[in-house]
Amino acid sequence: MNIEQQRNVNYRKSHPMTGKGLIPVGFFFEWVNWLVRSDELYEDMVFCDFGGNNGALAAAFREKTCVPMTVIDGMPEYIEEAKERGVPTILADLENMPLADASVDWGFCSHTLEHLEDMDKGLSEISRVTRRGMCFVIPLETKEEFDDNPAHNFYNPDEDWWLDKYRAYGFHVMISKVYTHKDGCKEMFAICQKLTGASA
């Protein structure tokens, strides 16, 4: 399903502010706190939310850190909402981003990879444009859960498969954890450092 087809699909219960699940919101702030503790957050750094939806998390990032975060998303409606929140925006598909190599210090990408028509191309582009690292949040869907999400183009329930995929695109996985919802659905959170000189 491409971006145009996804626009009117209500594919999962969402956080009323961000349009994303409750757990990704918690993971987002865990990542921000990790950046602070790890001395990886300075005002001259470039931060991006890849597939940033309506910009709510980018606005929260700015409020918490006083550092801007750019929303990159392929849906014009989300970009307009993000602009209304006062955050920087780029309207672009993640498989073909108009960004220079290593131009983003840190990126966040939550519940986005599974929507891409070409996930490997998207990961390759994220690897190309990032310099220091990424935080990824993805659903570990079963085949049944995937079939129930028409806006998703890909699934894999294997945590190690995803970690190997991040490594294949030049990232060193520093932290990963899986959260299981009460209904049995699972999500994985990973903080990854970009290996020096790595690209895919």
List of domains in the chain: 22-130 (3.40.50.150)
Place of tokens 């894999």: 156
Burial 121-147 (b: 16+ CB within 10 A, else e): ebbbbbbbbbebbbbbbbbbbeeebbe
pTM: 0.86
Q: What angle do CA 4, 75, 191 make, to 5 degrees?
A: 115
Q: pLDDT tier at 1 (50, 70, 90 boundaries)? A: very low
Q: pLDDT tier at 127 (50, 70, 90 boundaries)? A: very high
Query: How do residues 67-87 score in pLDDT, each as one tens digit?
Result: 999 999 999 999 999 999 999
Is the pLDDT at 32 greater than 60? The verdict is: yes
Q: Are residues 24 and 137 in contact, defined by beta-carbon separation less than 8 angstroms?
A: yes
